[in-house]
């Protein structure tokens, strides 16, 4: 599996350091706010698990799996919910935890949905941000790393369902795609 990786972009140690830093900022911001921290499945699972341990104040955790409708030509602000939250968000401070923001479509729609459900505040924490590819005006509140416009895998991110269990983020060798 490690042989399929061309280059490690962020090591386990670098991810750990940035996660600690983000956790400190989030702790300060959310003290006494009892936020609902929402993990966007499946990619954000590893990041969520590590980040949650760095949030040193009361919070709740919930999980959501969404996919964008169609090709994004419809601007309905809708997301197809594959697994919804168990917790009502009305009047609550919500922090969305994502693995990567690419075009921004998924998160824009998700944030709209949570506002529509009358969340008191909606903020976004993403491990990786690919600002070059942005087509929607999503600005994350907390970012681990800005990544170049390459397809990355590991630490939750997959290619064809694989590589999520790598402890680091890396770029796949082109032959891995070509051999499919
Ligand atoms: P949008 O474009 O809505 O999409 O911001 C974000 C989702 O696209 C997936 N994505 C990636 N997944 N490596 C991945 O494994 C990547 O480099 C990558 N870029 C985008 C991901 O599911 C994310 O939630
Ligand atoms: Mg994702």
CATH number at residue 83: 3.40.50.2020
In a domain, residue 77? The reply is yes
In a domain, residue 126? The reply is yes
Residue 102 known to be catalytic: yes
In a domain, residue 167? The reply is no
Provide the pLDDT for residue 174. Answer: 87
Given a contact cutoff of 8 angstroms between Cβ atoms, the answer to whether 68 and 40 are in contact is: no
For residue range 94-139, list pLDDT tens digits in order: 999 999 999 898 999 899 999 999 999 999 999 999 999 888 789 9
Average pLDDT over residues 35-63: 98
Confidence at 77, pLDDT banded by 50, 70, 90 = low
Give the 3-state DSSP-derived string for 50-117, with helices as H, strands as E and coil as C. HHHCCCCCCCEEEEEEEEECCCCCCCCCCEEEEECCCCCCECCEEEEEEEEECCCHHHHHHHHHHHHC
Helix (H) or strand (E) holding 38: strand 36-40
Q: In the predicted model, what is the mean pLDDT of the chain?
A: 92
Model ipTM?
Answer: 0.92
- Distance, in Å, from the CA atom of 156 to the CA atom of 114, rounded to the nearest integer, reads 24
Given a contact cutoff of 8 angstroms between Cβ atoms, the answer to whether 82 and 58 are in contact is: no
Given a contact cutoff of 8 angstroms between Cβ atoms, the answer to whether 69 and 108 are in contact is: no
Strand partners, 36: 60, 94
Looking at per-residue confidence, does 180 or 3 come out higher?
3
CA of 107 to the centre of ligand 2 (A): 9
Strand partners, 119: 90
pTM (two decimals): 0.93
Give 3-state DSSP helix, strand, coil % of the chain, rounded to 5.
Answer: 30, 35, 40
Our answer on whether the CB atom of 140 is closer than 6 Å to any ligand 1 atom is: no
In a domain, residue 84? The reply is yes
Q: Which residues, in sequence order, are CB contacts of 145 under 8 Å at separation 6+?
A: 9, 10, 18, 127, 128, 129, 169
* Least confident range of 58-62, 107-111, 134-138, 172-176: 134-138
In a domain, residue 121? The reply is yes
What is the span of the domain harbouring residue 122? 13-149
Domain count of the fold of the chain: 1
CA-nearest residue, atom 13 of ligand 1 = 152
In a domain, residue 42? The reply is yes
Provide the pLDDT for residue 75. Answer: 43
CA of 102 to the centre of ligand 1 (A): 5
Confidence at 68, pLDDT banded by 50, 70, 90 = low
In a domain, residue 157? The reply is no
For residue range 128-170, list pLDDT tens digits in order: 999 998 887 899 999 999 999 999 999 999 999 999 999 999 9
Confidence at 180, pLDDT banded by 50, 70, 90 = low
The angle subtended at Cα 129 by Cα 104 and Cα 174, nearest 5°, is 100
Query: Does the pLDDT at position 64 exceed 60?
Result: yes
Closest CA to 2 of 171, 145, 179, 149: 171
Query: Does the pLDDT at position 79 exceed 60?
Result: yes
Our answer on whether the CB atom of 157 is closer than 6 Å to any ligand 1 atom is: yes
Out of 50, 99, 102, 129, pick the active-site residue: 102
Confidence at 67, pLDDT banded by 50, 70, 90 = confident
In a domain, residue 76? The reply is yes
Confidence at 37, pLDDT banded by 50, 70, 90 = very high
């Amino acid at each position: 599996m490690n042989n399929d990786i061309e280059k490690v972009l962020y090591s386990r140690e670098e991810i750990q350091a940035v996660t600690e830093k983000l956790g400190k900022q989030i702790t300060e911001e959310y003290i006494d706010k009892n936020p609902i921290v929402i993990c966007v499945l499946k990619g954000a699972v590893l990041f969520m698990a590590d980040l949650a341990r760095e949030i040193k104040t009361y919070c709740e955790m919930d999980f959501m799996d969404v996919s964008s409708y169609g090709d994004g030509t419809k601007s309905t602000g809708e997301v197809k919910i594959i697994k919804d939250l168990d917790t009502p968000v009305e009047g609550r401070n919500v922090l969305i935890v994502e693995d990567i923001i690419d075009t921004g479509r998924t998160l824009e729609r998700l944030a709209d949905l949570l506002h529509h459900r009358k969340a008191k505040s909606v903020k976004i924490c993403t491990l990786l941000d690919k600002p070059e590819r942005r087509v929607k005006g999503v600005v994350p509140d907390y970012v681990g790393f800005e990544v170049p416009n390459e397809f990355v895998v590991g630490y939750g991110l997959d290619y064809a369902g694989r590589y999520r269990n790598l402890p680091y983020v890396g770029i796949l060798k082109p032959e891995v795609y070509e051999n499919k």
